Structure 1
Amino acid sequence: MESYEGQPTYSEKIETTEVIESHNNELTTASGEGGLQRNLQARHLTMISLGGTIGTGLFLASGSSISVAGPGYALIAYGLIGTMVYCFMSSLGEMTTYMPITGSINAYGTRFVDPAFGFMLGWVYWFSWSITLAAELVAAGLIISYWVPVENCPGWVWALVFIVVLTSLNLTTVKAYGETEYWLSLIKVLAVAVFIIVGFLYIGGAVGKGFIEADGSVAPQPGAAVFNMGPFHGGFAGLASIFLNAGFSFQGAELVGIAAGETKNPRKNVPRAIRQVFWRILLFYILTITIIGLCIPYNDPILGNADGNIESSPFTRVFVRAGIKIGGDIMNAVILVAILSAGNSGLYASSRALHTLSKEGSAPKFFGYVNRWGVPVYCVLATSLVGCLAFIVSLPQIGQGEAYNWLLSLSSTTGFVAWVGIAVNHIRFRMAYKAQGRNIKDLPFISHLYPFGPIYTILICAIILLGQGYTAFSPFSIKAFLSAYITLPFVVLLYLGNKFWCKTKILKLVDVDLDTGRSFIDITMNVDDTASQAEKKNSSWWKKIVHILA
């Protein structure tokens, strides 16, 4: 995946002033006092995506995946999903660098495919992240129960506290949100780095020798013998059953595209963020799962998360086995930060998707209101109300662990639909670009995986969406069937319903709008990066380390 510094053609320069004016109007015109503002920097953009992906999927669901399918199948599942993420991130990078607009996933669907397609993607994406917010709040309640038993303080109390905190953060300026997310995500990145170091020390025998289990037995020595206890457990059924976990874990990588419309210099910062986010996430997940598989047997009962106990976090388990007694408390605090960070990113992403729907006329007009600090207030509040679903599912009468599994399934399924939408949008974007006689080399960022990348994304997502619930048929389980497939009919209904009601048609390639919102400012103006380079060169050693990680 490489960038190409294309130069504007003569005709593009002629229309620059007109399009810049249109572009600025799109950013600043709203129903309220102002508009969305470009106040996010490159480091904010990178950490927003990391914040959305490094959450319960890594800290909790990874242990469950290894328990169900073994570390070998877990590596295959996460690796396969990781390659797919690489493909659609490349597609998204090409589109968002060319046309950096807020709520890009559904906006591109409306612009490049069909208004009904954009309508469907917008509501699916909003629903996906709203449910993710609820799932993160449920998980936060489970983590707090590590210190404060549910009998003393029920989970819905913590859900209420956290939803108020996250809503307050998202009602501040986007720059304040980006700065908060940067530091929260940095804590998570550092924690994962420390975990990897401790894991290798434990595997090498430097720490944690002869660890005694709670029942008095001696834990098996970490290494290849532990990994080989059941690397491919459960056969194909085990592998298929953890794809949703893997998908949920990577969900959030596409936040780069959502935040592009509020990012400074998107032509330079978006491609950089996409490269950094993908490789760091993939590195973290592959190394983490490998270490867990070498340290903890797949049949360790604590990994299964059957009772919703936070001790099932493999991170906590490895620290305890390594003999770091305080490690359990530290890791649980970090996991709590990770979950709040992921919920923070989810609330941001879903509120921007809802704002875009409103500007397109696919949601009530008042959701288009933006205050003078560039915050779509009503979109944030509406999404927070959906997050209050966590209040219900965290009630003891329903059961925390079971509720979390349902929310994870719903969020993962809708997340895969959104990724399919990105791939379809990219195919249509390229087809329209070619049909209108434009030169691919003029794109500021080129996805060299096209057309393989988007086609591969669509195939993998389709196989997972249709096949992930096949175990519900033998023997048939209505509960498992609904958990796997209940969202798919609603996706079809959203698309066909809007298409019938609004009488929309698939756009002709020559009629696709490839100009409104295009980043002509970045194309026609050179970016003087001297100051930032000088600052980087003169920064202290600890700032340089932070820059490498972030």
Structure 2
Amino acid sequence: MATAAEGIEPKAHDHSDKMAAHSASDVEKLSTPPTGELQRKLSSRHLQFVAIGGTVGTGIFIASGGSLAKAGPAGLLLAYIFVGTLVYSVMLSLGEMATYLPVSGAFTQYASRFVDPSLGFSMGWIYWFSWATTYALELTAAGLIIQWWNADLSIGIFITIFWVPITAVNFLPVDIFGEFEFWFALIKVVALVGFWIFAICVNAGVGKQGYLGFKYWDSPGAFAPSDLAQGSVAKFVSFWTVLIQAGFAFQGTELCAIGAGESANPRVTMPKAIRRTFWSIFPLFVFTIFFIGILVPYDLETLTAGGTNAGASPLVIAIQLAGVSALPDILNAILLTVVLSAASSNVYSGSRVLVGLAEEGCGPAFLKRTSKRGVPYYATAVTAAMGLLAYMNLSSNGGQAFNWLLNIVSVAGFIAWTCIFICHLGFMRALKAQNIGRDTLPYKSWGGRGLAIYGLTFCAIITLTQGFTAFVPWNTEDFFIAYVSLILFSVLYIGHKLITRSKFVKPAEADIFTGKFEDEISETWEESSASTWKKLMNKF
């Protein structure tokens, strides 16, 4: 008996040790994201402010001045509100897909899965080129902002100075990068809210102009008539001409979905991030445009001077008209942080699009390689290298080529939004064909098919008609500048279709499962070690 007991006791002890070792291994495996791939460390707060960081930039702080001169205060306000409805539709369509399938590159992969691999290829590459080029534009803008204080300094100096740290930040682990973007984007929000307070005070009569009210809506007027038409049609034409510029300002709102592959518990964080992102950016833009319109007359020559530093900002112009001398320098410093934050988001978004393209086989496989802490270093390096295009501004003929790149950025946003709606319609067809009810999705777009069709229709119309001024009278150069991005998109699509002979995806065969995030794993990653240990022990 003693011998038998002695024989049993060590076995029981060995089993306990093995169970403990096995459990500890499982805890570590389940509670830590895998190495060598993107890691889910971004909260809804991070995703929201990464999108704000990429969206709130020179479009609202500087380019809105030129738009005011073209459309007038009422025309510009209506343009921003209208484009805002399209953005809202985009966010709802994205939310439904990104919450169900939170994959790298988000909608660039959805196009290949739900519609057509050629659409995914062309959409993904032009979208990446758009953000990579925007990085160069923001670096240039940063140098021009510095020239506000000393015009004799070369822009090239500051392109180099800013390129190095902004690129370096993107090689940090994604949670640290998320915190960096949070605080920088917060500066933008505070600056715009501060401008609202300033505008209310000036409008009430604090500035040297006295009480304003809607003085400038009466004279020179609420709408700036176009030279291409007469009467009410001229006002509509002016409104239509600034839609593409309003779209450029809103471009980047969709970035919260780009980070879906790195979001912690996407079933919870993605819907929050998408709702909060839109309802953060939309009021920021609409109220800012409204206050600019009541403080600055649209016929002011400074608005059309073509500058890209603080002197061309309608916010600075409003401050100068009010007779405040100290604020322009302060706002210029804030504008510098605005540009640098946007530049950082550009590199992040572009690199994640490259990862998504690589995972879908639309780009070199090495682009999806990551460090042990989940940083796609090859994709980040390739995207950051595009920022060096900013040096083109130093050459005598570089400005014209750079304007072409700028137009690619502006129109590519509408092309991407159009493709997102197409993806959403394809996603809904696939769900129906595979007998999956939309009511079972973790997040459902309340507008459904109708809202997606509304967004698709107007985004496509704006994309096709935004260069109409090149036709009256005909101007070949203006035509190519307006439609170069659409031409590039078509070449990429047709080229990929001819080379690969890809076919449209049948709804019943669409891949709507690869990358689907499981709730159990999501919960495990967010639980504490003690809670996870208890859960695993209960399985034994």
Which residue is 1:346 aligned to?
A: 346
More displaced 10-residue stretch of structure 1: 291-300 or 313-322: 313-322
Q: CA separation in 2, counterparts of 1:526 and 1:170?
A: 28
Tell me the distance in 1 between the aligned counterparts of 2:402 and 2:328.
22
Q: State the shift of 1:28 in Å.
A: 6.8
Q: How many residues align?
A: 490
Change (3 A) 1:277 1:484: same
C-alpha displacement at 1:227, in angstroms? 2.2
Residues 344, 352 of structure 1: CA spacing in aligned structure 2 closer, same or farther, 3 A cutoff?
A: same
Distance in 2, Cα, partners of 1:450 & 1:410: 30
Aligned match of 1:170: 170
**Over residues 443-471 of structure 1, what are the superposed CA-to-partner deviations in whole Å (9 max), with x where a residue is unaligned?**
11000111122111211111111111111
* One-letter amino acid of the counterpart of residue 260, structure 2: A
Q: Distance in 1 between matches of 2:463 and 2:274?
A: 25
**SS at 2:261's partner residue?**
helix
2:221 corresponds to: 230
Structure 2 CA distance for aligned equivalents of residues 299 and 523 of structure 1: 58
Q: CA 1:526 to 1:359, structure 2 compared with 1: closer, same or farther past 3 Å?
A: closer
Cα distance in 2 for residues equivalent to 1:523 and 1:378: 28
2:446, 2:94 → 1: CA distance? 12
Correspondent of 2:128 among 85, 108, 126 = 126
Look up the SS of the partner of 2:149 in the other structure. Answer: coil
Residue identity matched to 1:225: K
TM-align CA RMSD = 2.3
In structure 1, what is the Cα distance between the partners aligned to 2:430 and 2:207? Answer: 59
Could you tell me how far apart the structure 1 residues matched to 2:415 and 2:117 are?
17
Aligned-residue offset at 1:491: 0.9
**Between structures 1 and 2, the one with greater helix share:** 2
Letter in 1 for 2:343: G
- SS for the counterpart of 2:394 is coil
- How far, CA to CA, are the matches of 2:261 and 2:510 in structure 1? 20
| Counterpart position of 2:199 | 199
In structure 1, what is the Cα distance between the partners aligned to 2:370 and 2:136? 24
**Letter of the 2:111 counterpart:** G
CA distance in 2, matches of 1:527, 1:361: 29
| Alpha-carbon contact 2:61-2:314 (below 8 Å) kept | yes
Q: Partner residue of 2:89?
A: 87
Q: What are the equivalent positions in structure 2 for 1:119-518 lying under 5 Å apart?
A: 119-149=121-151, 152-205=152-205, 207-210=206-209, 222-228=212-218, 229-233=220-224, 234=226, 235=234, 236-392=236-392, 394-395=393-394, 397-398=396-397, 405-518=403-516
CA shift at 1:403, angstroms? 6.7
Q: Residue by residue, what CA displacement relative to the aligned partner does 1:303-360 show, whole Å, maximum 9, x if unpaired?
A: 2242445311011122233343221111111111111111111110111111111122
Query: 2-side partners of 1:523 and 1:310: how far apart?
Result: 48
Higher deviation after alignment, 439-448 or 235-244: 235-244
Is 1:55–2:46 an aligned residue pair? no
Query: Which structure 1 segments of 5+ residues have no match?
Result: 1-20, 212-220, 531-550
1:124 Cα deviation after fit: 1.3
Partner of 2:41: 39
Q: For 1:232, give the aligned amino acid.
A: F
Aligned counterparts of 1:309 and 1:42: Cα–Cα separation in 2: 33
Give the TM-score taking structure 2 as reference length: 0.86
Q: Which runs of 5+ in 2 are unaligned?
A: 1-25, 227-233, 529-540
Aligned-pair CA distance for 1:237: 3.1
AA aligned opposite 1:222: L
CA distance in 1, matches of 2:86, 2:336: 28
Q: Tell me by how many angstroms 1:378 deviates.
A: 1.2
Deviations 1:388-423 (A, max 9, x none): 11110x2262476x6765443210111111111111
- Code of the residue aligned with 1:288 in structure 2: it is T
Given that residues 62 and 308 in structure 2 are in contact (C-alpha distance below 8 angstroms), is that contact kept between their aligned partners in structure 1? Answer: no
Query: Which secondary structure does the structure 2 equivalent of 1:445 belong to?
Result: coil
The structure with the larger Rg is 2
Aligned-residue offset at 1:247: 0.7
Quick check: 1:87–1:454 contact (8 Å CA) kept in 2? yes
Q: Deviations over 1:266-287 (max 9, x none)?
A: 1111111111111221111111
Stretches of 4+ moved more than 6 A in 1? 526-530
CA contact (8 A) 1:139 1:404 kept: no
Deviation at 1:140, TM superposition (A): 1.4
Per-residue displacement from partner, 1:480-503 (whole Å, max 9, x unpaired)? 111101121221121121122112
Identity %: 40
Is contact 1:184–1:341 with CA below 8 Å preserved after alignment? yes
**What is the CA–CA distance in structure 2 between the aligned matches of 1:337 and 1:82, rounded to whole Å?**
25
Aligned mates of 1:232, 1:371 — CA distance in 2: 53
Decide which of 64, 67, 85 is 1:65's aligned counterpart: 67
Which residue does the alignment assign to 1:8? Answer: none
Aligned equivalents of 2:474, 2:310: Cα separation in 1? 31
Q: How many angstroms does 1:526 deviate by?
A: 9.3
TM-score, normalised with respect to structure 1: 0.85
Question: Mean Cα displacement is larger for which, 422-431 or 353-362?
Answer: 353-362
In the alignment, the residues of structure 1 paired with residue 149 and residue 455 of structure 2 have an alpha-carbon distance, to the nearest angstrom, of 42
Q: Is the 8 A contact 1:55 1:342 kept in 2?
A: yes
Structure 2 letter corresponding to 1:492: S
Deviates further, 312-321 or 421-430: 312-321
Q: How far apart in 2 are the matches of 1:405 and 1:196?
A: 32
* Cα distance in structure 2, aligned partners of 1:81 and 1:124: 21
Which position in structure 2 is the counterpart of 1:215? none
CA shift at 1:156, angstroms?
2.0
